[in-house]
Structure 1
Amino acid sequence: MSATVLPGTAVSAQHVNLKLGPGLLQFSGANEAGPSIITTRAGTLNHSANGSKWWVESNSKRYVPAPQESVIGVIIQKLGEGFRVDIGSAHYASLDGLAFEGATKRNKPNLKIGCLVYARVSLAHKDMEPELECFDAQTRKSEGFGELKGGFLVKCSLKMCRDLLDPKHFLLPLLGARFPLEAAVGMNGRVWVSAKETRQIIAISRCIEAVDPDGGGMDEAGVKAFLSSLDV
């Protein structure tokens, strides 16, 4: 279920383990009703099947970090024991050198300027720069997070990233049925792709750009015809 909302719209979200995502703000009201929740952006209000997770989906141009979201960042500076990372938001993010699976003070990843990392937002606050970590908070394992070696970085709209993370979306399964590939999708408008052949990487990036709602908005039939013309 979804509904169109504007900034300041009251949301009646209630759950024992309530988690608010991007576009929602909770504060203590002045009445006895308890905490109140309002929207902070225009878009579509969504919630999970059990009503525990609520968020506002909008196709904004700039990424606004939110806790638990996966992002693809670029290392731009080394800072003492950590790194400063560009994730496409208004502020750079910080990544501690120990925020990797198995990392210790003597054994830390040697990331260089320009390296790509697939990370999770561990802290996001309007008055602080976001913080990242490259492991799963529950298992303390990498779970796919960490440095992204090789491949190619594709920039697209935020909505396209959300679409690619939907298991029902056709693009990645369609491409995977034609040739082996690897992909990491960040919620910040960046997709990392890798394949055995250069022409396959080019085909993947071209398809993402063509299917992007802010681009051509191509459908499944159009992608199949496009791939046939590329002979991949």
Structure 2
Amino acid sequence: MKGGVEHLQRIPFNPCMYDSSRGVTGSMSYQEYGIGATAVGVRGKEFVVLAAEKRVSYGGFVVSRSGKKVYKITDYLGLALAGLFADMQAISKILRAEMEYHSIMTGRRMSVRAAARLLASILYANKYFPLLSETLIGGIEPDGTARLYVMDPLGSLIEDDFAAIGSGAPIAIGILENGYKKDIDVEAAKKLVVTAVKAAIERDAISGDGIDLLVIRKVDDKVVAEEESIRV
């Protein structure tokens, strides 16, 4: 299969660079197909805040105004995603199943770091036929350490204090960078991510129709996850 080897090239980093008629070497852009989103994340001392807008669109057509792009996987870990809607759903289901399986087989919870590395490995294993979504994974470790990771569709993994992904990321990241402080508290972090997503909604036609929030934090000696929806 000489031609097949040449055909299976590593695609450039773009969460929506796939054309089913031509395989992984085809091209696909947010602008051409309107597939995207805006999702952001911020971590502080013993908490993580994830947020994403709710519009689902293909091309110039708005399919839904209530799409779910923020997922509570466990009480201590969540995802925020941007990309193809079906692939976002698939990623959340895969990670949830893997974490439940680990818990059943070992009797222990999987750490946030281990979950992020596992998901990165799964995405990399599918690099020739990738799940077309950028992913934020955030959560709280047993010792209270907050973790936030960002990964591309091929599984590259970066830990950071704040991050933005999707078609609205170039707008949102500036808001996060300007407003983030190392000692930020949870309420300030919630306001910051909402401001960042709202700014992206104003300028990115693919983003809009409300914001979903997931706040994961340590309260006393336990970790709680709180979900919230905001109209814009």
Give me the TM-score of the superposition, normalised by structure 1: 0.33
User: Whose helix proportion is higher, 1 or 2?
Assistant: 2
Query: Over alpha carbons, which structure has the higher Rg?
Result: 1
User: Whose strand proportion is higher, 1 or 2?
Assistant: 1
Give me the TM-score of the superposition, normalised by structure 2: 0.33
Larger RCO, structure (CA 8 Å, separation 6 or more): 2
